[in-house]
Amino acid sequence: MLSNIGNSLIILCILLSFFLLFSSFECLKKEVKQIPYKIFYYSLFQSTFSIVCFFILITGFIISDFSLINVFQNSHTAKPLFYKISGTWGNHEGSLLLWINILVIFSYLFLTSNKNSNIKYRIYTLISQNILIIGFFLFLLVNSNPFALIVPTPKEGLGLNPILQDPALAIHPPLLYIGFVGSSIFFSAAIGSLLSNYTGQSFAKSIKPWVIISWVFQTLGITVGSIWAYYELGWGGFWFWDPVENASLMPWFVMTALMHSVIVLEKRNTLYSWVIILCLLTFILSVTGTFLVRSGILNSVHTFANDPSRGLYILIFLSLMIFSSLTIFFNRQKEKESYNFSSNSKETFLLLNNWFMAFYLATVLIGTVYPIFTETLSDIKISVGPPFYNMVIIPIIAPFLLLMALAPKAKWIKNKFKSSTKVILTFLAAIFINILITYYFKSYSVLTNLIIISSIFLIIYSLLDLFNSFKKNNYDLSRIISHLGFGLLVFFIGINHTFTVEKDFNLKKGEVKNFENFNINFKSLKIEEEKNYKAVIGEFSITNKKDSSNQMLYPEIRIYKQPETLTYESSIKSKFSHDLYLTMSNINQSEFYNIKFQKKPFMLWIWMSAILISLGGFIRIFRNEN
Amino acid sequence: MKIKIFTSFIIPAIILSLFFFGLKNTNNYNTLNLVGNKIDNIELNGLENNKKILIGNLLSNNYTLINFWASWCLPCRAEHKFLLSLKKDEDLKILGINFKDKKINSINFLEELGDPYHFLAEDKSGKVSVKLGIYGVPESILVDKNFIIIKKFIGPISNSDYNDIIKIINN
């Protein structure tokens, strides 16, 4: 029943896409003065149907309709309702439907919200977006149908991987997808702009809000994913330079670059070609990321059940996208743009941001793709890990932070730095604070000092900016908040990275471990039955002799029923200044447990800073600043 | 300009073709390389009477096929007829391990389709199967008297698998 409705809606949506393409070409031929109403209706119906289609799948999960293979494979009657619903997008097919929903909704919103733009530009954008929509719908229907049936209907489902049963992970994919897939609209708009010759400032104005919306959600999505990794994976880290994390980071770099250069296009009417390249590249990298994750070419926590045919389809689609957009780009590119920037001007500084982003992108791209290449070409398995990224990226962050502090105040066309005393004073203050920090933690490393000094520099500078602009009542709050957030993020990551206390040891019930200032007491073990799992819970008392504080931690080993899986739940006590982190795992079914204890300073602050970065973007969406 | 266009096309082309060839090396977890290894002498729970049986006591025959199945597993129905035919071969004994199943459902399943097994054990938690190198149903492993894995069948037993088994036991 649900299967029939779902499939019919998918086919209806595809038909509507073809109607849209047909009417759009008709409009172009007739050179109409106004977009006909039927196009709006087609697009509105398409969004409605695809949303309904998604809700039908959710319904399948809620009522546990195991006649759908997708529900059978990813759900179970004993699962709490919340995770039944989030299970809808916790698998390949369902998440693809979510992906398409965003394509369709953004298509409609872009069409209706750009009333003042050129008609040809809007129509070409619509055409390009609908080609993408058809491509993904066909992929869904033919290769990854979430409404595929299973006969006879099983009585019970296989259950959702327990590691995915987490609130952070329930919201992580939708947030990330709005960012990832949202970028499709400025991909299409770039194609539309090339084909209709709608260039320059008006083009920049029409895509800017979409770039910011996508960027905000992508930033949030990456943050939430990182929070999930920290609380759920139980390794005590929050960023692992895992290929899939990298896949989400690469479009983010390009989007950040785009967000900055689109301002140059808007204000100075130059860099048009560069903006177009960035628009195209963002979505191309998003689809590349999807390919890496879904094809099984990489192994990671994100790989869904692998299926090379799936990979092949995405790869063909990706190739078509890349080569057709390149062809359009080179065919339509006008005479070479000349860039006559003064080396000391706001536009140069904004371009510098792009250079940094290009550098980060290249680093992460090489680190992610290189192992695939060596394995394909020579069968040698290598892995590129955190040391590579830390070595290459960290030193380059320092000058980047300084620029983030100084550049926004620069003037367009020709800039003059008025006083260097403010810069020098801020710099001295940063060095002084750094010395205090080093003294307090009694640990030293050149690289960390470099990072901490430059991030404090940015923080102080942003705060001064904030203060000054409140006085003048003329401020670009969003920029200041995002830059401040980035400064804080780097600062807290730097501190956290360098000053984490970590200890690994074995204990049995009743034993006590003493090291440095800590006293860790393994008090008891108990077993509890929950709705969908059984938990072995340890009780640990942690005493810090330095400030004689006492803290109880309860790490768990969970045995999930459907599917039968062991997960290790870390026990984390988050405080204002630091997190205490403890995981336990049993050693060979003996009475001994392996304990991993960490004291990690300023974890909460890292999340807050990342949220602050995207908050800046949010403010920009709702405030019209100049 | 021409060079620029050329490189703009050639670089993605190289990357994409490497992706294409990379697709062929799938990194799926594979237990086929367990062939030649010795299986552990694990204690099993009998399905019908809950008696404990040591897997070693069942392997007195020259060849034993250990088949992992479940009543909820659809491909298991597909391979069932081959198991029934294999039962007729006197040199082969078949041990069925019922994987993560309800007792009543599994008994109904055998009543409906026939019982191809000489011995029947259950693995409610799935842990025994994991110890034997299984990650899904149906899977079957052919072992000899010395507990050595001779062949492994991931997925339902097909016609050609059936012929392979017959060939191995008749040699």
- Using the Cβ of A156 and the Cβ atoms of chain B, whether some distance falls under 8 Å is answered with yes
Closest CA to A359 of A329, A403, A323: A403
d(CA A75, CA A161): 9
Q: Under an 8 A CB cutoff, do B8 and A326 touch?
A: yes
Instruction: Judge contact between B68 and B138, C-beta under 8 A.
Output: yes
> B27 to chain A: which residues are within 8 Å by CB?
296-299, 306
Secondary structure letter of residue A444 according to DSSP:
-
8 Å CB contact between A460 and A434: no
Interchain pair A564, B22: CB under 8 A:
no
Chain B CB contacts of A326 below 8 Å:
8-9, 12
Residues facing residue A567 across a β-bridge:
A558
**Closest chain B CA to residue A289:** B19
Scanning every residue of chain A, which has its alpha carbon at the shortest distance from the alpha carbon of B125? A564
Q: How far apart are CA A439 and CA A225, in angstroms?
A: 34
Question: Torsions phi, psi of A542, nearest 5?
Answer: -110, 120
% of chain B surpassing 70 pLDDT: 94
Residue in B with minimal Cα distance to A373: B18
Of the ranges A488-497, B67-76, B142-151, the best mean pLDDT one = A488-497
| A196 contacts: CB under 8 Å, gap ≥ 6 | A118, A120, A121, A123, A124
List all residues 6 or more positions away from A527 whose beta carbon is below 8 Å from its beta carbon.
A534, A535, A536, A537
Could you give the 3-state DSSP secondary structure of residue A35?
coil
Cβ distance of A372 and B22 shorter than 8 Å: yes
Q: Higher-confidence residue: B58 or A177?
A: A177
Q: Do A296 and B28 touch (CB under 8 A)?
A: yes
Say how far residue A620 (Cα) sits from the centre of its chain. 19
Q: Are A192 and A206 in contact (CB under 8 A)?
A: no
Taking the C-alpha atoms of residue A74 and residue A396, their distance in angstroms, rounded to an integer, is 43
**To probe the interface with B, which of A373, A380, A559, A588 has the most B CB atoms within 10 Å?**
A373
Q: Which residue of A has its CA nearest to B18?
A: A373
Q: What is the pLDDT of residue A626?
A: 45
How confident is the model at residue A624, as a pLDDT?
61
CB contact under 8 A, A311 and B23: yes
- What the block records as the tokens of A617 is 């973007």
Measure CB to CB from residue B100 to each of A150, A376, A564 and give the nearest one: A564
Chain B positions in Cβ-Cβ contact with residue A305 (cut-off 8 Å) = none
CB distance from A376 to chain B under 8 Å?
A: yes
Q: Which residues of B touch A330 (CB under 8 A)?
A: 5, 8
Q: Which two tokens stand for residue A449?
A: 């000092």
Q: Output the CA–CA distances (angstroms, integers) from residue A307 to A75, A173, A291, A302, B26, in the order listed.
A: 20, 20, 11, 14, 9
Taking chain A (626 residues) in runs of 10, the rounded mean pLDDT of each run is 92 96 93 89 96 95 90 83 89 92 95 88 95 95 90 76 75 91 95 91 92 95 89 74 86 94 88 92 92 74 61 91 92 70 80 92 90 78 78 90 86 73 86 85 78 92 86 78 94 88 85 85 86 84 83 86 73 87 80 86 92 92 66
Chain B neighbors of A372, CB-CB under 8 A: 18-19, 22
> What six digits make up the tokens of A348?
């140069």
- The structure tokens listed for A338 are 């000349």
Give A63-92 as a 3 state SS string: CCCCCEHHHHHHCCCCCCHHHHHHHHHCCH
Best residue of B7, B9, B23 to probe chain A, by most A CBs closer than 10 Å: B23
CA distance A300 to A15: 37
Distance of residue A72 Cα from the nearest chain B Cα, in angstroms? 11
- What mean pLDDT value characterizes chain B? 82
Q: Is A315 on the interface with B (CB under 8 A)?
A: yes
CATH 1.10.3720.10 fits B29-170, yes or no: no
Asked if the peptide bond before residue A563 counts as cis, ω within 30 degrees of 0, the response is yes
Which residues, at least 6 apart from A502, have a Cβ–Cβ distance to it below 8 Å? A236, A596, A597, A598
**Taking the alpha carbons of A478, A480, A483, A487 in that order, is the dihedral positive or negative?**
negative
pLDDT at A592: 84
Distance from CA of A59 to the nearest CA of B (A): 23
A556 and A535 Cβ atoms separated by less than 8 Å: yes
**Contact: A155, B105; criterion CB under 8 Å:** yes
How many helices (H) and strands (E) would you count in chain A? Answer: 17, 10
**Number of residues in chain A:** 626
Tokens of A168: 């952070």
Confidence at residue B26, expressed as pLDDT on a 0 to 100 scale: 54
Interchain CB contact of A305 with B (< 8 Å): no
Instruction: Indicate the helix (H) or strand (E) that contains A95.
Output: helix A92-113
CB-CB: which of B23, B74, B127 is closest to A297?
A: B23
- State the count of interchain CB pairs (< 8 A) between A and B: 64
Residues 6+ apart with CB under 8 A from A525: A509, A536, A537, A538, A539
Q: Which of B12, B26, B72 sits opposite A296 (nearest CB)?
A: B26
- The per-residue pLDDT for A110 is 94
Cβ of B22 under 8 Å from any chain A Cβ?
yes
Instruction: Please indicate if any CB of chain B lies within 8 Å of the CB of A323.
Output: yes
Measured at the CA of A568, the angle between CA A239 and CA A538, to 5 degrees, comes to: 125
Taking 50 as the threshold, does the pLDDT of residue B107 lie above it? yes
> How near does any CA of chain A get to the CA of B125, in Å?
7
Q: Could you count the other beta carbons within 10 Å of the beta carbon of residue B97? A: 26
Q: First and final CA of chain A: distance in angstroms?
A: 54
Inter-chain touch A308–B8, beta carbons under 8 Å: no
Q: What angle do CA A513, A569, A248 make, to 5 degrees?
A: 120
Dihedral angle sign, alpha carbons of residues A316, A321, A322, A323:
positive
CA nearest to B129 within chain A:
A564
Predicted TM-score (pTM) of the model is 0.80
Contact B8 A296 (CB under 8 A): no
Q: What pLDDT score does B42 carry? A: 80
Mutate to test the interface with A, among B2, B10, B18, B27 (most CBs of A within 10 A): B27
Which of A481, A514, A536 has the alpha carbon at shortest distance from A597? A514
Cβ-contact A279, A208 below 8 angstroms = no
| Distance in angstroms (rounded) separating the CA atoms of residues A604 and A46 | 42
Q: What angle do CA A92, A94, A96 make, to 5 degrees?
A: 65
Whether B131 has its CB under 8 Å from any CB of chain A: the answer is: no
Select from B9, B19, B21, B106 the residue whose CB has the most chain A CBs within 10 Å, as the one to mutate to test that interface: B19
- Closest residue in B to A376 (Cα) is B22
For residue A155, which residues of chain B lie inside 8 Å, CB to CB?
A: 72, 105
DSSP string, chain B: -HHHHHHHHHHHHHHHHHHHHHHHS------GGGTTPBPP--EEEETTT--EEEHHHHTTSSEEEEEEE-TT-HHHHHHHHHHHHHTT-TTEEEEEEEES--HHHHHHHHHHH----SEEEEESSSHHHHHTT--SSSEEEEEETTSBEEEEEESS--HHHHHHHHHHHH-
Residue B126 contacts A, CB cutoff 8 Å? yes
Name the residue of chain A whose CA is nearest to B127's CA.
A564
A319 touches chain B (CB under 8 A): yes
Per DSSP, A159 falls in state -
Q: Which residues in B lie closer than 8 A to residue A247 (C-beta atoms)?
A: none
Highest mean pLDDT among A10-14, A387-391, B133-137, B146-150: A10-14
Q: Tell me which residue in A150, A323, A377 faces B9 most closely, judged by beta carbons.
A: A323
> Within an 8 Å CB–CB cutoff, is residue B27 touching chain A?
yes
Chain A residues lying within 8 Å of B105, measured CB to CB: 155
Distance CA A223, CA A220 (A): 5
Contact of A286 with A237, CB cutoff 8 Å: no
Q: For chain B, what are the domain ranges?
A: 29-170
* Minimal C-alpha gap between A488 and chain B (Å): 37
Q: Count CB atoms within 10 A of the CB of residue B4.
A: 9
CB within 8 Å: B127 and A564: yes
Suggest the residue from A315, A325, A336 to mutate for an interface test with chain B (most B CBs closer than 10 A): A315
